[in-house]
Structure 1
Amino acid sequence: MKPVNFGIDLGTTNSLIAKYDGNKVVVFKNPVGQKETLASVVAYRPERILVGDKAREYLTKDPVNVFGNFKRKMGTDERYYVVNIDDNITPVQLSELVLKELKNFIYTGETPEACVITIPASFDTMQSNATLKAGQAAGFKEIFLLQEPIAASLAFFNQFPEDLQKDGYWLVYDLGGGTFDAALVQATDQELKIVDHEGNNFLGGADFDFAIIEKIIVPEIILRTGIEDFEEEFRVKHGKYEKLYYEILYYAEEAKKELSYSKSVFVEFSAELNNKRYEFSIPITREKTDEIFLPLINETVRLVKNVLENNRLSSKDINQLVLVGGSTYVPQVREQLALQTGIPLNFSSDPTTSIVAGAAWYAANKYYESSGQNEIISAEAIASEILSTVDFIEPELHIETSYSKSSRDKEEVLLLFCEGAYENKFFRIIRADGGFDSGFVGLKAKKTEFLPLLPSVTNHFTLSVYDNRYEEIKSLSREISITQGKYTIGGQPLPYDISLEIDDVENKTTKLEAIFERNSVLPQKRTIYREISKTISKGSKDAIIINILEGDKSARPSSNLTIGCIEISGKDLKTDLIKGSDIEIQLHITDSRVLETSIFLVMTQQEFNNVFSISEKQINLERLREQYNLLENELIQTIRQFQYNENDAWEIKANALLEDLQSVKERLFKLKSNDKSDEKYVIAEKIMRVSQASDKLGGNERIAMLVEEYFEAKERVMETINTCDFEKQEMLKKFQKIEQSENSFIRSKNVSFIANKLKQLDDLHWDALCNTTSFLISRYIMWRELPAESYKDYPAARSLMKMADASLEKEKYPEFRRQVFSLTHLMVTIKDNINQAFKGTGIG
C-alpha cells in the first residue's frame, strides 16, 4: 500500500495541486510563470487546446471558444458548443483538461496514480460522481473526494501555533470563485469533527462579477447607446452580444480584484453596437460595489447564522471565524462578517492555498494499491484460490486489541488480549510503508508491542495471525491506524438526507423513509426490510421500483434528486411476487458518495445489485408521470386554498408554477420508454424544481398559517371523535398516530409535509363524522332526494333506501349505518383520477 500524498483543489476560478512531502505540504507552481494557481479556463484554438492563464487571455479575443465557471455545471446535462471544433463538450471534459494540466506542475518527475480532489460540501451525489469521472478520465486510477471545508480545517489546524487554544467550536467560512460553504467544526485534542454545514453551489466570486455587470456596466451601456432591449439580448446564449458578454465578464473580474486594494477603477473597452462603434470608460467605485455586493454577502451571513441556530449556538460559543477562498479578499466581505456576526475573524490561512494544502494533509493518510503492486496481489490471489479448495479447521481463538488512535509520541503501545487456543500461534505486525516489521512473535494471554510512528501522518499497520506451520489465519487479521502529531478528521458528513421512496397506500401517494440522515458520518451501510405492497405476476409488465433519493427527508419525493433507481418487473421474476412478501434492501455509500445497492426478494430468492454513478442516472417514466399528476393536483388545490383565503400574491405565484409545470405535460405523456434523448431528464428536472418552489410558496407566513390550521383542525377532529357512535377507539388510534409525528413535521418547516398532515386530519374528520349517527341521518335525508341519474343502479338504491327508512324508524342505527354506506357505493361520483390510477413503487 502506498500513501496517496497528492491533493487537488479543483476550483471554479482557479485550481491547484500539492503534495505532502516529509511532514510538510508543497504547493506546486506552474512551470510557465511560476504561479501556484492555474486558471480554471479552457480555450479551443484551431490547432491546439490551451488551459489556464493563456486560455483566459483569449476571453477578450475569441470568447466563444473559451470556457470557465464550468464547475458550477458539474453533474448537469449542460453542453458547451465549441465553434472551432464544431462539437459540444461537457463540464466533465473541461474539468478533465484542467486536471491533466495540473499534472504538468509536478516537477519531481512523478506521475501520480491516485489523488484527493476537493468538492464543495453542498455538492450532491451527481456532482460528486461527475468529479470522480473527470478524475478517472484524467488518468487517476484511485480518487478520494474531500469536502472543501474539511480541507480548509485540516490546513488551518495543522499549521496552528502550538501555544494557542484549539478545543471548542470554530466556523469555516469558504467563499470561493463559484461556491460557498459554512461549516461548524468541533476541535478536540487530536480530532476534528464537522458538526454541521450550510452552502450554496451558485454563490461565489463569479456572482460578484455578474453583479458589477448587471448593476453598473449594462446600465451605462444602455444609457450611452439607447438600446432598450440590450440587457435582455446581452444574456442570450449564442446571441448577437455573446462575444461582448464574455469580454465584459473578464473586465468585471479584473475590476473586482483591483478594488480589493483601490478605491476606484475604470473599465475601458470598445464595442460595435447596431453598426456603430462606441468607446466606453466606465468608473467603478468601492462605494458602489459595497452596495451591490451586500445582498450576496448577506446571503452568506444568513447561512452562517443558520448553522449557529440549528445547533443552538451563539456567536460567543465560537472561537473564531476562519476565512478561506479567494473571494474573502473582498474588503466588504470581511467588514460585514465582523459587523454582522460578532465572531473574531481569523485570516492566518492563505485563502488561495489552504484548501489544496488540506487536501494534501488528507492524502498523506489515504492509501492505495499502486499498479506495481497489482501483479504481486494477483499472484497472492491465485495462491489464495488454490488454498481455498483445502478445508482448514478454524481455531477457537479470540483476540482483542487496545491502543490510542492518535498520539503525540514517537511510538504507541498496542495491547493484545487472547482467549482460547493461542498456544503455538504467532502474530506479526507490518507498517504499510514497510518501515516496521515485528517479525513472528508468539501469542500470550496478554501481550504488549511498541509500534514506531512516522511523524505527522496516519500510520497504517496490518496485524496478522499464524498457526504453528506459519500459515496465516485470515479471519483473525485486522488493520490498525494511528495518527501521529497531527489533526485528523473524524469522517466526512453527508450533506443531504438519503431516503427510500415507499408507498403511502392510505393516502394514495408515496413518501420518503430516511435511510441515512444528513450529517451522518461517511461511509455508511444499512440493511432495511420492507413488504411488497402489490402483487407482481411473473412475466407481466408490472414492476416494483426501488427509488433512492437525496435531499430533504421531510419533503415530497418529487422535491428530491433521484440518485439510484432499480426497476424489477414481472419479466425479471422467477415466480409471482405476492403482496406482503418481504424485500431486503442493502445500501452502502462510500466516503466519495458512490452508492452501492443490493436487493433480495425473499419469495423468489433473487438478488439484484447495482453501483450507481453519474453515467447511470436513471428515471422511471411511469413513476415520473405519477409524480407529475400528484404535483399538478396539489398545485390546483393550493391555488383554490389561496383563492378562498384571498391571498392574491401567493395565488399568482402558484398559477405561474402550475403553468410552468403544465408546459411539459404534453411532452411527458407522449414520451416513449425507449426514447434515446435527454428529454425525460429535462422533464424530471423541471418537476423537481417546481416541486421545490411549491414547498416554498408563501414562505414562513404560509407555514405559520398551516400550523395554525393544523391545531384548529386537531381540536375539531377530537371534538367529533368524542361524539362518535361507532368505531370510536379506531378513530382515536388514527388520531394518536398523526399526533405522534407532530413535533417532527412542525419542526421541518416544510409546507408539503405540514399540508399532508392537515389533509390526514381532514380525512379523519370525515371518517369520524361518518361514524356519527346524527351526521349520517342528515346526509341520508339529502341523498334520498337526489335524482335517479345520480345512482349507478337506481332500483337497487331505492331498495336500500326502504331498508334504511325501516332501520331508522326502529332506531336500529348499526343496520342503518351499513345500509347508508352501501348506498354511497351506488352513487355516481367524480373520483380523483390520480387516486384511481395510483400504482406507487410497490414497496410498502
Structure 2
Amino acid sequence: MENTINYGIDLGTTNSAIAKFVKGEIFIFSNPQDMGSRTLPSIVGYKKDKILVGKQARVFAEREPQNVKSVFKRKMGTSESFPVKSLNQSKTPIELSAQVLKELKTFVNTGDSLDAVVITIPASFDTIQSNATKEAGILAGFKQVVLLQEPIAASLAYANMKKEKEMQEGQWLVYDLGGGTFDVALIQIKDGEMKVLDHEGDNFLGGADFDNLIVEKIIIPKLYENYKFSDLEEKMKSASGKLNAVYLKLLRLSEDAKIILSAKTSAEIEVSGFEDEDGNDVDIEIVITRSEFNELIRPNIDGINEMIKQILTRNSLTQIDLQFILMVGGSTYIPYVRTRVEEVLQISVNCEIDPTTAVAIGAAYYAATKRKEIEKSGKAKHSSISVKTSYNKASKEKDELFSARITGNTDGLLYRITRQDGGFDSGIKNLSERISEDLPLVNGAFNFFSLVIYDIENNIIETDIEPIGINSGFGISGQPIPEDICLEVDDYDNPGKTRLKAIFFKNSILPLRSQGTSFPLNKGLIKGNNDDFIYINVLEGSHLALPEANKGIGFMEIRGTQITRDIAKGSDIEITISISESRDITISAYLNMADQEFKQTFNPKERHTTIEFLKEQVEDLSDKLELEIQEATDREDYETASALSKLKKQMESVSEETESLTGDDVTDKRYQLEDKKRKIAQEIDSATKNKRIQQVKAHYFEIKDECKKILDENGNDHERKIFNDIVAQESVFFATNSPLKIQEKSDEIHSIVGKIRWRTPEFLSNIFQWCKNSQTRMNDQAQAKSLIDAGNFAIESNNWERLSEINSGLLNLLPKGAEKEATTKIGFGI
C-alpha cells in the first residue's frame, strides 16, 4: 500500500480534472464519457432516477435547465442552495461538488481505492469556503482531504516541468483566471526553495462573468431593440421568473461564442425558442465581434491588473524584478487577457503549461509529498519489527537525512537501504533502535529507496515499513493564509464598541500557532449563572477594519454554568489559537483565576447571507459614511471629505444594486455585493485614519498620565517595568502611524491601571458602596443581599481579594452599562 496520497484534483468552477503521481511522472486521467478530453465539466443534472455529471448534464440542460446546476463553486461556503424541480428539493454547493468529485473517481481505471486526495481551492478562499470544500470531499467518500491553493499547484506544475538548469532564482507571478475565480500570486525561488510571498484575488471573477456580460450588455439590449419586453433581466435571473430557463440557455450560448472568439474575429449567437410580451416568436441572430467582446471585459481585466500593481507596490517591486507572468486557467486562452497584461504591465507572459490541467498536475505533485493518515482497517500485518521513519519528502539538497526508530527486538538483525535505480547502496549494517543515513538524491527526479531488514542468515524480516520517496524537484515551503485572523476585543477608547486584534497576519504560512495572549476580562462571571457569559469571536479579514467589515469564522462562549468558581472582573483570560494546514481553527481559552481551560475547533461550512440582512448592513454603512463626511467637513478636513465622497458614489451604486435584488435571486450577486460592501467599509476606515490617529494619541497620553500617578501610589516593581518599557517604545509605535498599534499600547497601560485599581482598598470600597446604593436596580434581590452581607464582612476583615470578587458579582446583577457607569464615577472611566 502506498504511504503517500498521490492523487490530486482540480475542482474547478466550470471544469475539473484528476491526476496521479506515478514513479516521478504525472498521469492525467481521461474522461471516459468524452473521448479525447482530460477534463470534466462541473455540471450536475438530475433526470428521474439518474444523476448526470459533465457533458451529459450540459446536453440535458437544453431540455430541462431547471434540473441542471452549474457554477456552484462560487457559492461554496454559503447557505445558498439550488432547487431541483425533478427532486422537489434543493441541493447545496457541497452536495453538487461531491457529485463532481464522485464522477472524477470513475476516471481512475487503475484499481486503486481512492481514500485520500489533494483538492485545490482558490488562494482567496476564506476559512468557511475551505471547510466546505473539505466537506464535499468527505461526502464524496474520501477519508482524508488535503487542500492546496491553486496558484501553488500551478507553480509546482511549472517548476517540476522545467529542468533544474532552466529554473533560475528569482520571482514571478501566477495569473490564474478560471471559470469563476481569479488569483494572482507572487512566487519566489531562493536557495532551491519555492515560496509564496503574497497574493490577491477575487472569488467572483472569471469566465462565467464574461458569459453573463454578453447576455446583459449585448443580447438583452438587442432583444429590447427588436421585441417587446419589460423587466426582462429580472424575469431571467429570478428563480421563479418566466424566462429563467432562457437565461441559462443564453449563458451557455454566450460561453460557446466566447470560446469561438479566441480563434475567430466574430461569433454568432442564435436566440430563439420563446415569445415576447406581444406573443411574437423570438428568432434573432446576434453577431458579436472580438473587439466588442474585448471592450466588454476590459474593465475586469484592468481591475486584475490593478491587483497585480498592488502586489508589486506592497513588495517594493517593479516590472524588471519579475521574470514573467505564468498564465493558468481556461480564461487565459482569451487573446485579449494575455495581450492586455503585457501592454499594461510590461511583463512578458509565460504560456508554457496547459492552463486547463496545470492545477491538477501540481496537486498530484503535492500529493506525492503528503503522507496518508488513514487508519488501516482489517487484519493488521503481523510483524515483530515496526519501523517509524522521518525524512523530508521534498528536498533540493544533494543528500537528505533519513532516520528511523525501530520497535522490537533488534538483536542480531541487519539492514540495508538501496535506491531504486541502483545508484546507492548503504551496504549491510547492524540494526539498532535508531538508525540514520544520508541518502544521495538524483537532481530533478523523484528518488525511491527501500529499507530491508535481515536476520543473521540474510533472510528478509517482514516489517510494516512502506516505500521511501523523496522529490528532488521543487516543493513548496507552505501555504499562506489569504487574510488576517483576528479576535474581536473591547475598544476602551470608544466605550461599548469593539475593534480587532490581529493574531495571524495575511500571508503567514500554515500551519500556525499563536503564543498565549492575555486579556483582562471586562466583566466577571458568577459560578452557576447561565445568564453570565463571555464570548471569544474569531474573524477573518483586515485587522485595520471594523469588526463588522470582516467575515466571522466562529465564536466560543464560556458561561457561568461551566466554571468552577466566581471569576472577578479584570482577571486574565489567556487565548491561544492554532490553524492546521487545511484551515481548521482551534481556540484554547485559559481562565487564570479558575485554573480552567476551554477548547473548541471551528470548521464552519456555511456563511448565511440573507438579502434582508445585506440590505440592513448596506444601509448602516451608508449612514456611517454620511456621518464621517459631515464630521470631516465640520473640522475642515476637506481632503478626507473628498476621499469619502468618492466612496459615497461606490456606496450608492452598491445600495442601488442591493435594493434591486429579488428575494429569490438565483445569481451570486448578493455575495459579490457583500464583498464590495466589506471593501468599502475598509476604505472608510483607511480614509478616516488621521482622525483616529489623533483620537488614539490623545487617549494614550491621558491613560499614560493616569497610570503614572497610580503607579507612584500603589504600583509594584513589575508593573513599573512594564509601564517604562511601553513608554520607551513611544517613538517606534508612533512612527508606524497605525491607530491600532497606538491603541494596543493604550490597552496595555489600561490593563496595568485596572489591575492596580482592583486591588486598591479605597477603589474596591467605593465600588462596593456604589453597588449598595444601586441595590434596587439589581435583577436578583436575594443574591444581591447575600453578596452585600458578604461584602460588609470582607471590609471588616480587610479581605480585599474577596471584596473584588463580590464587587464583580454585584456589578453583574445590574443592568447592562451599569458597570461602565460605576467605574467611571469611581475614577476608572479612562
Match of 1:677 in 2: none
Partners of 1:838 and 1:116 in 2: CA distance = 55
Number of the residue aligned with 1:296: 300
Contact 1:18-1:360 at 8 Å conserved across structures: yes
For residues 276 and 321 of structure 1, do their structure 2 counterparts lie closer, same or farther at Cα, with a shift above 3 Å needed? Answer: same
The 1-side partners of 2:17 and 2:66 are apart by 25
Classify 1:463/1:303 alpha carbon distance in 2 versus 1 (closer, same or farther; 3 Å). Answer: farther
| Pairwise CA distance, 1:323 | 0.5
Alpha carbons 1:192, 1:488 under 8 Å: kept = yes
Q: Find the counterpart in structure 1 of residue 683 from structure 2.
A: 696
Using the size of structure 2 for normalisation, the TM-score is 0.73
Q: Percent identity?
A: 36
The alignment partner of 2:482 has SS state of coil
Describe the shift of the 1:202–1:164 C-alpha distance in structure 2 as closer, same or farther (beyond 3 A). same
1:322 to 326, 342, 352: 326
Counterpart secondary structure, 2:34: coil
Q: Decide whether aligned partners of structure 1 residues 183 and 262 sit closer, same or farther in structure 2, where only a CA change above 3 A counts.
A: same
> Structure 2 CA distance, aligned partners of 1:525 and 1:374?
36
Which residue does the alignment assign to 2:276? Answer: 273
SS at match of 2:324: strand
Residue matched to 2:528: 539
Alignment of 1:367-406 (within 5 A): 367-372=371-376, 376=380, 406=395
Q: What SS does the corresponding residue of 1:278 show, helix, strand or coil?
A: strand
Alpha-carbon shift at residue 441 of structure 1 (Å): 4.0
Contact 1:365–1:457 under 8 Å retained in 2: no
Give 1:272's aligned amino acid.
E
Q: Per the alignment, in what secondary structure is the counterpart of residue 380 of structure 2?
A: helix
Partner of 2:344: 340
Mark the CA change 1:286 to 1:691 in structure 2 (over 3 Å): closer, same or farther. closer
Q: Deviations 1:441-462 (Å, cap 9, x if unpaired)?
A: 4779x99734366983487999
Deviations 1:97-139 (A, max 9, x none): 0000000001112221100000000000000000000000000
- Structure 2 SS opposite 1:527: coil
Q: Partners of 1:617 and 1:431 in 2: how far apart?
A: 52
Partner SS for 1:169: strand
Aligned pairs for 1:499-648 (under 5 A) are 499-508=486-495, 509-530=497-518, 531-540=520-529, 541-615=531-605, 637-638=627-628, 640-641=630-631, 644=634
Cα distance change, pair 314–425 in 1 and its aligned pair in 2 (3 A):
farther
Residue by residue over 1:663-722, the C-alpha shift from the partner in whole angstroms, topping out at 9 and shown as x without a partner, is 9xxxxxxxxxxxxxxxxxx9999999756533334x98x45xx53x5788899999999x
Q: 1:378 to 1:743 in 2, by over 3 A?
A: farther
Query: In structure 2, what is the equivalent of residue 245 of structure 1?
Result: 247
Question: Alignment partner of 2:515: what SS?
Answer: strand
- C-alpha displacement of 1:734: 11
Q: Conserved in 2, the CA contact under 8 Å of 1:494 and 1:518? A: yes
| 2:475 is aligned with 1:485 | no
2:7 aligns with 6
**CA distance in 1: counterparts of 2:419 and 2:368, whole angstroms:** 12
Residue in 1 that maps onto 2:33: 32
Between the aligned partners of 1:605 and 1:460, the Cα distance in structure 2 is 50
* Distance change (3 Å), C-alpha of 1:366 and 1:655: closer
**Per the alignment, do residues 333 and 654 of structure 1 end up closer, same or farther by CA in structure 2, a change over 3 Å counting?**
closer
* Residue of structure 2 aligned with 1:120, choices 106, 122, 125: 122
The answer on whether the counterparts of 2:127 and 2:553 sit within 8 Å (CA) in structure 1 is yes
Residue 96, structure 1, aligned to residue 86, structure 2: no
C-alpha change, 1:736 and 1:641, in structure 2 (3 Å) is: farther
Contact 2:119/2:146 (8 A) holds in 1: yes
1:786-823 CA distances to partner (integer Å, 9 max, x unpaired)? Answer: xxxxxxxxxxxxxxxxxxxxxxxxxxxxxxxxxxxxxx
CA-to-aligned-CA distance 1:136-161 (integer Å, 9 cap, x gap):
00000011100000000000010114
Tell me how far apart the structure 1 counterparts of residues 222 and 671 of structure 2 sit (CA, whole Å): 40
Q: Which residue, 363, 367, 371 being the options, matches 2:367?
A: 363
Alignment match, 2:781: none
Equivalent position SS for 2:166: coil
* AA of the residue aligned to 1:20: F
What CA distance in whole angstroms lies between the structure 1 residues aligned with 2:676 and 2:350?
Answer: 38
1:496 to 483, 486, 494: 483
- 1:154-193 aligned at under 5 Å gives the runs 154-193=156-195
Amino acid paired to 2:584: V
Cα displacement string for residues 407-434 of structure 1 (whole angstroms, at most 9, x for unaligned residues): 475x646699xxxxxx99999898999x
Q: Summarize deviations over 1:517-562 as a string: whole Å, max 9, x none.
A: 1111111112313132321111221211111111111112222222
Per-residue deviation, 1:483: 3.8
1:227-246 alignment to 2 at 5 Å? Answer: 227-246=229-248
Which string of whole-angstrom CA distances, capped at 9 and with x for unpartnered residues, describes residues 62-89 of structure 1? 1111111110100011111111111011
Distance 1:403 1:733 in 2: 42
Name the SS for the 2:354 alignment partner: coil
3-state secondary structure, aligned to 2:514: strand
Given residue 31 of structure 1, which amino acid in structure 2 is its aligned partner?
P
The amino acid across from 1:564 in the alignment is G
Distance in 2 (alpha carbons) for counterparts of 1:578 and 1:564: 25
* Structure-1 separation of matches of 2:477 and 2:498: 35
Equivalent-residue separation in structure 2 for 1:600 and 1:378 (angstroms): 44
Q: d(CA) in 2 for partners of 1:300 and 1:654? A: 18
Q: How many residues align structurally?
A: 695
Q: Per the alignment, do residues 833 and 273 of structure 1 end up closer, same or farther by CA in structure 2, a change over 3 Å counting?
A: farther
Structure 2 runs not aligned, ≥5 long:
405-409, 454-464, 660-668, 713-722, 751-815, 825-829
One-letter amino acid of the counterpart of residue 132, structure 1: K
Closer, same or farther: CA 685–324 of 1 in aligned 2, 3 Å: closer
Q: TM-score, normalised by structure 1?
A: 0.72
1:804 maps to none
* Cα displacement (A) at 1:276: 2.2
What amino acid sits opposite 1:607 in the alignment? E
Write out per-residue CA displacement over residues 196-251 of structure 1, whole angstroms, 9 at most, x where no aligned residue: 11111011111111111111111101111142422343322321110110010000
Moved more, 733-742 or 83-92: 733-742
How far off is 1:588 after superposition?
A: 1.7
Q: Is the 8 A contact 1:563 1:612 kept in 2?
A: yes
Question: For 2:221 and 2:392, how far apart are their aligned partners in 1?
Answer: 67
Do the aligned residues in 2 keep the contact of 1:529 with 1:585 (CA within 8 Å)? yes
1:83 alignment partner in structure 2: 85
Q: Which amino acid aligns with 2:197?
A: V
**Gaps in structure 1 of 5+ consecutive residues:** 385-400, 417-422, 465-477, 664-681, 765-830
How far the C-alpha of 1:94 sits from its partner, in A, is 0.3
RMSD: 5.0
Classify 1:181/1:319 alpha carbon distance in 2 versus 1 (closer, same or farther; 3 Å): same
- Secondary structure at the aligned position of 1:223 is classed as helix
**2:511 counterpart letter in structure 1:** P
Change (3 A) 1:583 1:727: closer
Quote the offset at 1:293 in angstroms.
Answer: 1.0
Query: Retained in 1: the 8 A contact 2:41–2:55?
Result: yes
DSSP 3-state at the match of 2:479: coil
Post-superposition Cα deviations, 1:568-608, rounded to whole Å, max 9, x if no partner, equal 01111111112233323232211111112222223223222
Residues 479 and 50 of structure 1, relative CA distance in 2, 3 Å threshold: closer
Amino acid at match of 1:573: I
CA 1:378/1:553 → structure 2, altered by over 3 Å: closer, same or farther? farther
